[in-house]
Amino acid sequence: MNIIIPIKQVPETSNVKMDPETGTMIREGLVSIINPLDLFAIELGIVLQEEAGGSTTVLSMGPPKAAEALREAMAMGCTDGILLSDRKFAGSDTWATSYALAQAIRKNGDFDLVICGERATDGDTGQVGPGIAAWLDLPVATYVSRLVENRPGSLVVERLVEDGYETLEVEKPCVLTVVKEAAYPRLPTLRGKQRARKTELPVWGAVDIDADPAALGLKGSPTRVVKINTPKVTRSGDIRTAGDPAELEAAVDDLVAYLEKIDLV
Amino acid sequence: MQDYSGVWILAEQRHGTVQTISYELLTRGRALADTLGVPLAAVILGPTDDAGLDELIRRGADRVIIADAPELAEFLPEPYTRTMAHLVKTHQPEIIIAGATSSGRTLMPLLAITCHAGLTADCTGLDIEDETGNLLQTRPAIGGNIMATIKSPAHRPQMATVRPKSTRPAPADPARTGALIRETIDPELLKSRVKRLGFTPADADAANIQEAEVVVAGGRGLKKGDNFGLINALAALLGGAVGASRDAVDRGWIGYPHQVGLSGKTVSPKLYLCAGVSGSIQHLAGIKTSENIIAVNSNPEAQIFQVANYGIVGDLFEVLPLLIDKIKAKQAATAATV
Ligand SMILES: Cc1cc2nc3c(=O)[nH]c(=O)nc-3n(C[C@H](O)[C@H](O)[C@H](O)COP(=O)(O)OP(=O)(O)OC[C@H]3O[C@@H](n4cnc5c(N)ncnc54)[C@H](O)[C@@H]3O)c2cc1C
Ligand SMILES: Cc1cc2nc3c(=O)[nH]c(=O)nc-3n(C[C@H](O)[C@H](O)[C@H](O)COP(=O)(O)OP(=O)(O)OC[C@H]3O[C@@H](n4cnc5c(N)ncnc54)[C@H](O)[C@@H]3O)c2cc1C
């Protein structure tokens, strides 16, 4: 089974600092990581390949630095990596990003499965996975929370929806996007790291993937970001301190009164 | 581009019943259509109760376009995308908005590629740009740290998904009338390489969290999974659902369907009561539109207090048991008097 896993390198955003003046992210000192959900895609890919043989190719579009993310995925056990890097890709929205990734997947040759993360933590649209499926005209299952069975011509998966889990059978080749219940990501091993360092990592540009230049980068992107600002959310509430038993008693009594006022007790 | 006119909302049905998200989209769509001075259509795929179709008109649609082929009863990516692409080609709307639901967030990117259109994800604000009439779409990004405004000036239709519960459902006006247009879809378009084999409902509580009038949530301050018992007990007393921060979910204390926030569910209950939750920007992104927010946290500096209507700075292991006792006492007293 040949599996392609598109992964994105993202800034570690759990304690991101914003510049209040400009509304932009302070990138200084920010660590880049593999998009957290992509770790689940990588794990699922490796598990399937371990069972069925074949290859797992991680693919990332980004600056040269994104090679780090690919090497890390290879250290976890992915067999191959491809870096898509070219100035012409800069400023791509999800339409242009999924086009470039789909072209690279085509170019790479036969495959049975593409596994994406459901969404990336920075752009956070969740549109690239289905976008790739549309470009390649493949069936897609999004929000996959579990792989149930790998059948000869199809995959049976569970898909997380608002009120439960759908069980779907998807014909191969296909595209999956995964949520975090899908697998339990392993850590890179020392041997994996050594192997990853030695494996060749091809870098492809626009020409290598036979891309239509008009469909790439900012020029090829239908959407434009026109404004960015930092949101503020505040309410001025009644905040009570329950330092001693008397304060606790009073604060809880007033809380019950509040609930009564809004008709909940 | 000039050939594209009119605003569409993509209504959703489940087992033939129109879903609330459709009415929220009508609120958005009506405002956009009125600003532009164009008609508003609700598009709905799959067999749907007549009463539901009427309700779409009463709540703001000028037209309802329905493709009621049985193959469209459940969401399947390919038949839905091909049907929508066909309808877009036939009717040429300038704007299409859908819910940022599991189906909307799958269908819209597929459709956007097919139609060569720009698509903005998970919007919390939609507006029309004065001079140009372009759709201005505002959405949180980078972990909710920023709000970005996006437009697609040179492509039609302009497409967006809208966060569920980010606006109120449009009210019904019994006097409103409108047209119902039934579309017949070529069976070729309805073929699917994805088959739906079955469905397992989530535990009822997790499923209801977005609809619940009361949500009681716990975070890392609970210290261990067993202590969710306190949250469950309080939720049961108030007839509410149980929510959690991502930290609590990541620790395996409670399932992911209960997660509230940017990468979980958005809730908009009458009461959101949380304990041991710090109020990270990502958590707040999921609770902002709640009517009343009550927080219990031992740290007076916790961010959650900035959005709380009522807060108690204290130990949740003291506050919650006392609160549970007092509510029980109150309910017993009320029951005794009636
Ligand atoms: C503030 C802001 C808001 C934006 N809003 C929009 C918008 O509303 N609409 C829009 O079209 N564009 C938008 N963009 C542009 C968009 O973020 C980029 O196109 C980005 O490269 C891909 O989108 P994402 O991060 O949303 O990925 P997602 O679609 O969330 O990623 C899902 C999965 O796709 C794969 N993937 C994504 N990117 C790559 C990559 N570069 N290489 C390999 N695999 C990848 C990964 O498996 C990932 O888990 C926005 C950008 C910014 C900065
Ligand atoms: C891209 C991205 C998406 C995310 N999405 C989400 C999301 O959807 N939902 C979400 O919740 N988070 C999300 N997060 C994570 C978020 O940043 C926080 O890490 C998380 O919300 C913290 O959870 P918490 O409040 O339970 O834990 P903490 O921040 O550790 O807070 C615990 C709180 O408990 C209080 N406490 C401790 N003991 C007691 C006691 N005895 N009595 C009372 N109070 C006590 C502490 O004072 C503290 O304020 C996301 C992060 C990123 C980067």
DSSP result, B312-337: EES-HHHHHHHHHHHHHHHHHHHHHH
| A202 and A250 within one domain | no
Q: Which of B119, B238, B294 has its CB closest to that of A94? A: B119
Model confidence at A233: pLDDT above 70: no
| A142 and A244 within one domain | no
| A204 and A95 within one domain | yes
**CB neighbour list of residue B56: distance below 8 Å, 6 or more residues apart:** B11, B18, B22, B26, B42, B44, B64
B147 CB near ligand 1 (under 6 Å): no
Residue A229 located in a structural domain: no
Which pLDDT score, from 0 to 100, does residue A221 have?
96
Residue that has been written with the tokens 């959690």 in this structure: B244
Instruction: Assess B125–A contact: CB distance below 8 Å, yes or no.
Output: no
ipTM of the complex as predicted: 0.90
Instruction: Assess A51–B contact: CB distance below 8 Å, yes or no.
Output: no
Q: Which of B77, B300, B310 has its CB closest to that of A237? A: B310
Instruction: Assess A221–B contact: CB distance below 8 Å, yes or no.
Output: yes
- Nearest chain A residue to B129 by CA distance is A226
| A239 and A210 within one domain | no
Instruction: Assess B220–A contact: CB distance below 8 Å, yes or no.
Output: no
- Nearest chain A residue to B266 by CA distance is A162
Calculate what percentage of chain A has a pLDDT beyond 70.
92
| A135 and A248 within one domain | no
Residue A223 located in a structural domain: no
> Quick one: CATH architecture of B204-337?
3-Layer(aba) Sandwich (3.40)
Both ends of chain A: CA-CA distance in Å? 59
**CB neighbour list of residue A17: distance below 8 Å, 6 or more residues apart:** A25, A26
The amino acid occupying position B263 is S
CATH number of the domain at A73, please.
3.40.50.620
Residue A103 located in a structural domain: yes
Any idea where the domains of chain B sit in the sequence?
7-190, 204-337
pTM: 0.87
Query: How many domains are there within chain A?
Result: 2
Which pLDDT score, from 0 to 100, does residue A24 have?
59
Ligand minimally distant from the alpha carbon of residue B249: 2
| A243 and A155 within one domain | no
Q: Is the peptide bond before B201 cis (omega within 30 degrees of 0)?
A: no
Residue A225 located in a structural domain: no
Specify the CATH class of B7-190 in words.
alpha beta
| A165 and A247 within one domain | no
A63 CB near ligand 1 (under 6 Å): no
Which pLDDT score, from 0 to 100, does residue B285 have?
84
For residue B278, which of B257, B250, B248, B256 has the smallest C-alpha distance?
Answer: B248
CA B303 to centroid of ligand 2, rounded, Å? 10
CA distance B178 to chain A (A): 31
* Residue of A172, A239, A253, A261 to mutate when probing chain B, most B C-beta within 10 A: A239
Same fold, B7-190 and B204-337: yes
Domain ranges, residue A194: 2-215
A45 in Cβ contact with A150 (< 8 Å): no
B40 CB near ligand 1 (under 6 Å): no
| A206 and A100 within one domain | yes
| A254 and A193 within one domain | no
Rounded CA separation B328/A84 (Å): 62
A126 CB near ligand 1 (under 6 Å): yes
| A56 and A136 within one domain | yes
User: Cβ separation of A225 and B148 shorter than 8 Å?
Assistant: yes
For residue B256, which of A13, A184, A160 has the smallest C-alpha distance?
Answer: A160
pLDDT in tens, chain B (338 residues): 778 999 999 999 999 999 999 999 999 999 999 999 999 999 999 999 999 999 999 999 999 999 999 999 999 999 999 999 999 999 999 999 999 999 999 999 999 999 999 999 999 999 999 999 999 999 988 777 788 999 999 999 999 999 888 888 999 999 999 999 999 999 999 999 999 999 999 877 676 788 888 999 999 999 999 999 999 999 999 999 999 999 999 999 998 889 999 888 888 889 999 999 999 988 998 898 788 999 999 999 999 999 999 999 999 999 999 999 999 999 998 888 76
- DSSP per-residue string spanning B127-193: EE-TTT-PEEEEEEETTTTEEEEEE-TT-SSEEEEE-TTSSPPPPP-TT---EEEE----GGGG--S
Rounded CA separation A81/B260 (Å): 35
Residue A220 located in a structural domain: no
Instruction: Assess A214–B contact: CB distance below 8 Å, yes or no.
Output: no
Give chain A's mean pLDDT: 92
Residue A149 located in a structural domain: yes
Which pLDDT score, from 0 to 100, does residue A13 have?
66
Residue A226 located in a structural domain: no
A157 in Cβ contact with A168 (< 8 Å): yes
Residue A100 located in a structural domain: yes
Give the number of the atom of ligand 2 that is nearest the alpha carbon of residue B245: 11
| A156 and A37 within one domain | yes
